[in-house]
A and B are shown apart, each in its own frame.
Chain A
Amino acid sequence: MQPDASALSAALRNAGIDAPVAEERLGLVARPAIADTPSALRALHAADYEMLVDLFGIDTGEDIEITYHVRSFTRDEDAYLKANLPYDAMLTSVWDVYPAALYPEREAAEMFGLRLVGHPNPKRLLTSDEFNVPVLRKSVPIRTDIELERPGISREHLKAAEEANDNG
């Protein structure tokens, strides 16, 4: 599979979206502005990217990077759309373009503490309603003080063990 950026850039250009397309280690990556993402995905869908393979977020430390992995079966080609979303921003649903986004959008919103707009069922997907911690943000520790509060086990002891484990 030899990456060929021409189809991806042409589709984005024809839709009037200004997004740099680069060939990275991952594959073809286009980086539109977050406001352009729904229209960019609509353009890609029209350009024979039939399937949304995956959708997920990455906490970059400054914002949330949402990655849309799309695939064209006709050209046997994968492409990635990456858009950066501020921590307090809203994630616009693209389920009307790719219904496959229905679940992963809910998951990304709950795991990164984003607000989901335009989604038919914007509930939490994997965690319960009262658990409102954006788990996958880097600022959320893997263990919390609440979890450490157990009879007979001191917080300091567990924290030291955790640090020792992290440092190898």
Chain B
Amino acid sequence: MANRRPAAKKQPAGKSAQPKQAAQSKQSMQPKPAAANPHLLGEILPEGAYEVEVLPKGLHRVPRGVDELATEHLIMNMGPQHPSTHGVLHLLLEIDGEEVITGEANIGYLHRGIEKLAEHRRYNQVGTLLDRSDYLSGLHSELAFSMAVEQLAEIEVPRKANWIRSLVSELNRIASHLVWMGTFGMDAGSMPGFLYALREREALLDILETITGARMMFNYVRPGGVLMDLPPEVEPMIRAFLADFPTKLEEYDTLIGKNEIMQARIKGVGVIHRSTALAFGLTGANLRATGFGWDVRKERPYAAYPELDFDIPVGETADCWARYLVRMEEMRVSTKLVGQLLDGMPEGDHSAKVAKVLRPPAGEAYAAVESPRGEMGIHLASDGSDKPYRMRVRGPAYYALSIIDEILPGNLIADAVMTAGSLDLVLGEIDR
């Protein structure tokens, strides 16, 4: 069987083959159990329950020729305009029949030079750029940037500002996960989930519009606090949403995830071992689906999260199904968090007194938040002037995409679609 593989005839491009070897040698690098941290897996699941060393029999597919015929490899372009590549991702797939031999992501179609532009904007103007980097969760990028500026300029943020920041973050997280849920279902051919998801998201965008004045390009979280206080009419809106949403979410879960066809479609597909995930810098739900419960909200608490009570959902099987379960559970957790934040919303100022033109002292700072896609970090270098000397966006989807070359080989093309969909890629943040 193996000697009939066309790969022996024509070597796949070495560039993609080499990282594979490297990551395989890393399989032996077992991550430490991290017993000291109660949020990490060792305490939640029994030892060994999460390590899927080999795929279940019948699910691992190797490329092969057809009987005695030698087949040829084909280079296929998927994207940049493609319904399953979520924006302008361009995948170059070398295929043998339906099987992917090598996969390579070709990106940059949305590159706008946000890091360069930020060097020519004042500190309170950079938020507009960051809204456009990760356009599904602009508030998280703004928050990370504001926190980095506050570290540099040593600004104390009022308690109420922190609570509002957490509130809008969680609302934005649900909105972003809904888009993911809908598009993920659509990748598998389940259209209704997408329409319902966008309907719910519309209610959330209305709430965010009432709070911030914009539906997607918020520029609401500023260094020192937030732009405006919560308007009085928003609380009934959020309460109405909270009363409705949990039951609806269960309906959508029934529609998408509890569908037997969907489960057969994504279980065992796109497995990312924990060691591979760590080696490639995966964070967020993609990492937690491997059973590694690392969440910036718990490990490096920011905004109001130290005062809140919530759990970090972790997955077990590290495949598309686990990533689906983790994200659905995260929406439930976020719904509870929004309730907590509304109930405990303190009185006070929504912003600290901050100079109109900020000139933080020279130095460097790194601040990270848990965006819907993982650890969104902003690395900021200041030279004491009114503009950042250098701003680096550490995007979670950027690193999630880099694992594509590693995990696609051996999958079917259709599974490549599901794998890319399950990683929750937002190209605006990858290309910046």
Contact = CB atoms under 8 A, between A and B. Distances in A.
B18 A58 contact: no
A54 B394 contact: yes
Interface in B1-53: 14-16, 18-19, 22-23, 26, 29, 31-32, 34, 36-37, 40
B37 A54 contact: no
B62 interface: no
B18 A120 contact: yes
User: Which of A51, A78, A104, A121 counts the most chain B CB atoms within 10 A?
Assistant: A51
Interface in B360-417: 363-366, 375, 377, 379, 381, 386, 389-390, 392, 394, 398-399, 401-402, 405-406
A103 interface: yes
B122 to A, nearest CB: 8
User: Contact residue range for chain B?
Assistant: 35 or more
A127 interface: yes
A142 B114 CA distance: 11
A166 B432 CA distance: 22
A156 interface: no
A59 B34 contact: no
Nearest to A1: B300
A54 B363 contact: no
Contacts of A52: 281
B311 interface: no
A50 B357 CA distance: 40
Interface in A46-82: 48, 50-54, 56, 58-59, 67, 69, 73-74, 76, 78
B25 to A, nearest CB: 9
Looking at chain B's contact residues, is the secondary structure mostly helix, strand, loop, or mixed? mixed
A20 interface: no
Contacts of B104: 121
A50 B278 contact: yes
A136 B115 contact: yes
B365 A142 contact: no
Given A96-B22, A121-B15, A127-B111, A67 B406 contact: no
Interface stretch (A11-19, A21-29, A32-40, A146-154): A21-29
Contact of A125 (B16, B107, B122, B365): B107
Contacts of B394: 53-54, 69
A28 to B, nearest CB: 12
B19 A120 contact: yes
Interface in B94-128: 104, 107-108, 111, 113, 115-117, 119-120, 122
B280 interface: yes
Interface in A93-138: 95-96, 98-100, 102-104, 111, 120-121, 124-128, 135-136
Number of chain A interface residues as a range: 35 or more
Contact of B399 (A103, A125, A135): A103
Contact of B279 (A53, A98, A111, A128): A98
A126 B110 CA distance: 9
Given A1-B300, A54-B377, A76 B37 contact: yes
A56 B116 CA distance: 13
Contacts of A127: 108, 111
Given A96-B22, A166-B120, A25 B379 contact: no
Contacts of B210: none
Given A67-B379, A102-B402, A126-B431, A142 B116 contact: yes
Contact of A126 (B32, B107, B151, B357): B107
Contact of A99 (B19, B40, B119, B300): B19
Given A76-B37, A120-B14, A121-B16, A59 B390 contact: yes
Contacts of A166: 120
Given A50-B31, A73-B294, A125-B108, A103 B120 contact: no
B375 A53 contact: yes
Contacts of A128: 108
Contact of A74 (B18, B32, B117): B32
A135 B364 contact: no
B299 interface: yes
A136 B115 CA distance: 8
Given A25-B151, A74-B34, A99 B22 contact: yes
27 contacts: A26-B363, A50-B32, A54-B379, A56-B379, A56-B392, A59-B390, A67-B379, A69-B366, A69-B379, A69-B394, A73-B40, A73-B278, A73-B294, A76-B37, A78-B366, A98-B281, A99-B22, A99-B406, A102-B19, A103-B398, A104-B398, A120-B14, A121-B16, A126-B107, A135-B116, A142-B116, A168-B122
Given A26-B363, A95-B19, A121-B15, 17 more contacts: A1-B300, A25-B363, A56-B379, A56-B392, A58-B381, A69-B394, A73-B40, A96-B22, A100-B402, A104-B398, A124-B108, A125-B108, A126-B111, A126-B431, A135-B113, A136-B115, A142-B116
Interface of A: 1, 24-27, 48, 50-54, 56, 58-59, 67, 69, 73-74, 76, 78, 95-96, 98-100, 102-104, 111, 120-121, 124-128, 135-136, 142, 166, 168
